[in-house]
Chain A
């Protein structure tokens, strides 16, 4: 019973003009330390809302979210987040973006740069330290965002479709790099995606969600040994399983 993160009966309702709308219904997930969990589901299933609630940017209508034994009640640097949109501070250089969280925590200047240097190296951004975000490609921007989220040494890394707006090739490279980072930092990662391929390639476990109301359909363990080959038989079988689950949910939603 040693969970890093626990979601207990998390429910979220929004008030709309037609009355209460159930966005997420009774979500229960337990995440183990150092686990890589992917959350997958059709758009509108509330997977981003779920992640935002864990980040503390949104609040559950009922239920609780517990991280390391403490109830989440607001945003905090112990939950790092990487957004889908490009979220670098455009007025800060790459290195100053990475040190942002440390600056807020009032870490000593030299220490800030030492830490930033480490994460900059980890995400492979050599020679870009003093560039501004507008000079970077989409993939580079997300690398900086990952380094920035890791710099405050969070207990968990939350990623909301972070590679959604980069091209397919860069995406594959970023996925490999992310696994390497995950292996080296031993972080617990929660990764939201709508891409089946991405979930199969990255996750230890895949949580499948359905839409309207958003609820957890099933958690699938992904025991395929790493490094995974994107075209191997096991990967394809797992992908098949996932796709079937998702299309089943879709047909249910249509009825």
Chain B
């Protein structure tokens, strides 16, 4: 018999081992903070940077929100059209598949020329990163609505695309939309550093990490910001899962888990 209570704190053990190894290797093997700063030094850096850190987090979250909101607002209607109407999918899919593999970083020159050096340009890079996962997972959801549910809707008087989308396809596809949004959030967050690298302002986690700390070779600060980036992504994901997936999709339990 496996008891879940025993597994509860399990993640702590490897985490502590990794941190201790890091501390030991950096302090006694490498002995050069430029190559690998010690974990304790990094923690101290976070403390030392606390004032500028708050501002940077807020600015990065602003960029992230601009990009994500835009990605969601554009991807969802497009996903409905592509998932529900076979002809729209056939017409648009090749364009999507050509643009999709272009790395978000490659858009930086266009972002600067189109939008300028401001928060929206950073948001645009994050938009490019978040857009495709949201689009693709969402249209899959709309495309895969079981025929029997559509027909059940039909015989109960739910007739015509607008009603069918509203009452049948949308509720059916929402979990896929949520999954896509979650993946899109992850990819979008990975674009934050790149989006702030090219000088859209003078704050933000990516800006500080690359333009300041790296140029000054303050590697303990760089690593501190890297850890903050990771930690924030984890928090964002957990918050999303708590409020969206666990609360909204109780009905999905029997199907996926």
Binding site for B on A (CB under 8 A): 55-57, 74-77, 79-81, 83, 85, 87, 89-92, 100-101, 103-105, 132-135, 148-149, 152
Contact B250 A100 (CB under 8 A): no
Contacts of A103 in B (CB 8 A): 167
Assuming the contacts A87-B148, A87-B149, A91-B172, asked whether A80 and B155 have C-beta atoms less than 8 A apart, the reply is yes
**Majority DSSP secondary structure for residues of B touching A:** helix
Contact B159 A74 (CB under 8 A): yes
A135, B157: Cα distance in complex, Å: 26
Q: Is B168 an interface residue (CB 8 A)?
A: yes
Interface centre among A55, A104, A133 (most CB of B within 10 A): A104
Q: Is B156 an interface residue (CB 8 A)?
A: yes
Q: Which of B156-185 contact A (CB under 8 A)?
A: 156-159, 163, 167-168, 171-172, 174
Contact B155 A89 (CB under 8 A): no
Q: Which of B238-257 contact A (CB under 8 A)?
A: 250-255
Q: Is B118 an interface residue (CB 8 A)?
A: no
A173, B10: Cα distance in complex, Å: 49
A152, B153: Cα distance in complex, Å: 12
A148, B158: Cα distance in complex, Å: 13
CB distance from B257 to the nearest CB of A (A): 10
Contact B159 A152 (CB under 8 A): no
Q: Is B40 an interface residue (CB 8 A)?
A: no
A75, B151: Cα distance in complex, Å: 9
Please name the residue on chain A nearest to B175 by beta carbon.
A91
Contacts of B250 in A (CB 8 A): 132
Contact A104 B157 (CB under 8 A): yes
Assuming the contacts A101-B157, A104-B158, asked whether A87 and B251 have C-beta atoms less than 8 A apart, the reply is no
List 20 A-B residue pairs with CB atoms under 8 Å apart, sorted by A's residue number. Answer: A55-B155, A56-B155, A57-B151, A76-B157, A87-B149, A89-B172, A90-B252, A90-B254, A91-B172, A92-B171, A92-B251, A100-B153, A100-B167, A101-B156, A104-B153, A104-B158, A104-B163, A132-B250, A132-B251, A149-B155
Contact A89 B254 (CB under 8 A): no
Q: A83 contacts which of B151, B174, B252 (Cβ < 8 Å)?
A: B151
Q: Is B152 an interface residue (CB 8 A)?
A: yes
Q: A134 contacts which of B151, B155, B167, B253 (Cβ < 8 Å)?
A: B253
Contacts of B151 in A (CB 8 A): 55, 57, 75, 81, 83, 87
Contacts of B252 in A (CB 8 A): 90-91
Contact A89 B157 (CB under 8 A): no
Please name the residue on chain A nearest to B158 by beta carbon.
A104
Please name the residue on chain B nearest to A135 by beta carbon.
B254
Assuming the contacts A91-B251, A104-B163, A134-B251, asked whether A85 and B148 have C-beta atoms less than 8 A apart, the reply is yes
Contact B171 A91 (CB under 8 A): yes
Contacts of A149 in B (CB 8 A): 155-156
Contact A77 B172 (CB under 8 A): no
A149, B250: Cα distance in complex, Å: 25
